[in-house]
Structure 1
Amino acid sequence: MLDLPDKIKSLIHEEEYSIDDVGMSDSTVVLFKDKVLKIQTISEEAENEYHVMEWLQGKLPVPKVLGYERDEKKAYLLMTKVPGEMACADKYLKDPEQLTTMLAEGLQMLWNVDINHCPCIWNLEKKLQMAKYRVENNLVDVDDAEPGTFGENGFKNPNHLLEWLNNHKPEEDLVLSHGDFCLPNIFLANGKVSGYIDLGRAGIADKWQDIALCYRSLLHNLNGKYTGKQYQRFYADMLFEKLGLEPDWDKIRYYILLDELF
């Protein structure tokens, strides 16, 4: 039995549920028939997710907030379940051409949102401040980093990486960013994006933040990192062709390295 605030209990009654174990988040995600309850430690990201989800109503396909409560330690966000399936579903990975087309359209949908009055800012200044806090408080998991990020041919430690990031900040092209544009966070249906989830880092940021993490997620999922199953017919420039952009490999590397501290 879940230990929940009374208001959240009143909204879910005694519905059957299951626990979702997909994704890299440290939150607890409880799945009901038509609702999702996200339970996480109180943090700026938890507050951000609630506020940005409210702001995005009518602008993008995001869950509708049904209830939001906090106690001394936890935040409880109850929302509607988005339709469709995760972009990492086997049926999408089997067709990288169609998958990258839908993901590119999903990125452009974000960029087309007017960022005036957006309540959440996640530009480099903000993210590097948060990265500094995580480094200083030993919150970075170096074992979860990409091979070669740390060690003999990489950075000595997270502090060394943070120093490099501060000294190599790229110019930003600010748009509405998802913040963690990885395949499990994007839902697809009927040939298009049907929902964005895990919006704790959504807000104003450089467009290459999302491009970089989308590209990395495509490589990981199509190369079998999580399931061992490899998919064919994907080539490195496919996503950039769909976006109509020349890949900025310096920015892609920068934002992937920045994500190693989160």
Structure 2
Amino acid sequence: MELVRMVRSPWFVGSVAVLGFLVIVSALLNQASYSEWYGYAQQYQTKNYGMENRVMVNAWVGTDRRPSSALLYFLLPLLCLLPGAGTLIEERASGYQAHALSRMSDGLYYGAKALACFVAAGLVALMPLCLSLVASAMVMPYGLPDLMAYATLSASISNLTPFQYLFYTFPIGYLGTWCVMTCCLCGLWATTVLACSLFARSPVRLFAGACIFQILLNYASVNLSKVLSAELVNAVDLFTLLVPTGYEGSIPTSQTLGASLVAYAAASLIIPILFFRRRCYL
């Protein structure tokens, strides 16, 4: 019931629509670029203009480096929170929450809300990324990127990018793995924020605080990484972790990605267990 209410809410539909629009914009930009370079390659057949690397895996929103794709990944950690935060505001304002709590236990209500938040936030991330998979397949042909060409040209991913071996050997598996990982990470992030609602009476302040937290996390982790290493810039914020190409010069790694998954999963479980009786969200 909770999941149905979230998925049917304007917060969910609006978030998916905004991200879907950005996917379409990126696809159109990729189509225009591919058509232009394909025309050059047809006209001057002695030069290939890097056509061996103009393949589907490089037309996906996570690897194409389009401004619209960068905006999508910046908005994604924020928009995935809207279904949960929006329905929480509506339930408090309409009295639905008080009515539900009069008919079921607090634990059952919170458990249903947490599961719905996880699934809804994951779908907000998964649906646009799957749409981009279809769009990229329509724009560029499927094929394996040329590893030797990537040694001399600017690659869309680095050697430290998680699952990078799939990028060169099984591109569709690489894209699918990133879609699933992004879905899970957004879901865990949303349930972590829901757990923090135990300490926040205002869902609006909770949402704003979550946004500020990610921005500050990016600033702190990037600067700490620069102090510890002059060559590699790591960050643990979702703006960086969700996109294979990274954000603002910082890149995701398997270590930071794994640590973040564990941290958000632990927080979404431990915080309610320890502080559930505080019940500030009621």
Which one has the bigger helix percentage?
A: 2
Larger of the two Rg values belongs to structure: 2
Which one has the bigger strand percentage?
A: 1
TM-score by length of 2: 0.25
TM-score by length of 1: 0.26
